[in-house]
Amino acid sequence: MAAEITVKTLGVTGGHTYSYTIAAPNYGRGTYLLLHGFPSASYDWRHIIEDLTAEGYGIVAPDLLGYGNTSKPTAVEEYAQEDISCHVAEILEHEGISGVVGVGHDWGAGLLSSMWYYHPQLFESLVFMATPYSPVSPNPIDLSAINTRTEKAFGYPIYGYWTFFNQTDAASIIERHHDSFTTLLYPEDPAIWKTIVCPIGKLRAWLEADKETTRASYISDEEWDTHSKIMLNGGYTGPLNWYKAAMAGLNKSPTLDTARQAITKRTIFISGENDAIGRPEIAQQTADEGRNSGLLPNVETFVVPGSSHWMQVEKSKEVLAILKNL
């Protein structure tokens, strides 16, 4: 019954080559498109892929642009969401796949938002993990407004670390202090993000001091080594360009068709209870506003108890139960 997993590559528009993990479904079961976030690769979905394919579900999990074995252009302009959404659509079209359950985590959720706008015909339903739906807009992201609003609401600005990520030496600093960064990425106590990752200036100071915190118990030595190898082999220039592109206004659409913003398919938001950035309150507010406005008429919210940002790794069985319901 298990679906056979293979890894393929495909050249897409713009001259880039994508690597993607794929398994065809068995017995008429559906296919899940799994879009990872920062900073990982399709490896982020290892537990989910294993469990879905064991039950015969199909999966497509690309290493997104700048990650893993996919092309890693250095120019910020290459990381516009419209272009990357077209790349992923090309993979699905090449494989003859449509009607997928789109699942995006972190920046993968942001990409899923763009894919709905530009390629809605590909989806049966959509799942946004850690980051709720953010419709394509004619305006660039207002980082200052988000940080001001969230600091007032929660006591800290949730996107304060973006300021560091936008600096020219951010990639080299992270690479030089990678163990320091990775312990902070996967901390045993996720509350440390509220004081070190989110406030402006704190993350850079932490890394330059080469500090470390206790690693999360759900990350094994093997997983730590594999993650570090993936990220250091490719470097952080490409991954950080996802943030720089957003701050440069490259994800806006000046010719916006507002009718295409509404998600008419079943939509799920999944939040980790202890996620300091993708807070459940933000997902719930987005869902409530979406229902009231008609933007998200079929939205549901789920909170994974005891989980932080990396729920697909930390609490994969709980996430799997939600996904299989789709």
Distance CA 217, CA 301 (A): 27
**pLDDT value of residue 233:** 95
Q: Specify the CATH architecture of the domain 6-140+253-324.
A: 3-Layer(aba) Sandwich (3.40)
Start-end ranges of CATH 3.40.50.1820 in the chain? 6-140+253-324
Per-residue confidence of the chain (326 residues) as pLDDT tens digits? 777 899 999 999 999 999 999 999 998 899 999 999 999 999 999 999 999 999 999 999 999 999 999 999 999 999 999 999 999 999 999 999 999 999 999 999 999 999 999 999 999 999 999 999 999 999 899 999 999 999 999 999 999 999 999 999 999 999 999 999 999 999 999 999 999 999 999 999 999 999 999 999 999 999 999 999 999 999 999 999 999 999 999 999 888 888 899 999 999 999 999 999 999 999 999 999 999 999 999 999 999 999 999 999 999 999 999 999 88
Measured N-to-C along each axis, helices 107-118 and 237-247 cross at an angle, to the nearest 10 degrees, of 60
Q: Which long-range contacts (CB under 8 A, 24 or more apart) does 176-182 make?
A: 177/207, 177/208, 177/210, 178/228, 178/231, 178/232, 179/212, 179/228, 180/206, 180/207, 180/210, 180/211, 180/212, 181/207, 182/215, 182/224, 182/227, 182/228
**pLDDT value of residue 3:** 77
Structure tokens at 275: 């996620």
Backbone angles phi, psi at 304, to 5 degrees: -90, 110
Distance CA 267, CA 299 (A): 5
| Residues 6 or more apart whose Cβ sits within 8 Å of residue 149 | none
Distance CA 203, CA 206 (A): 5
**pLDDT value of residue 326:** 83
Q: pLDDT for 51-67, tens place per residue?
A: 999 999 999 999 999 99
Q: pLDDT for 131-179, tens place per residue?
A: 999 999 998 999 999 999 999 999 999 999 999 999 999 999 999 999 9
**pLDDT value of residue 2:** 78
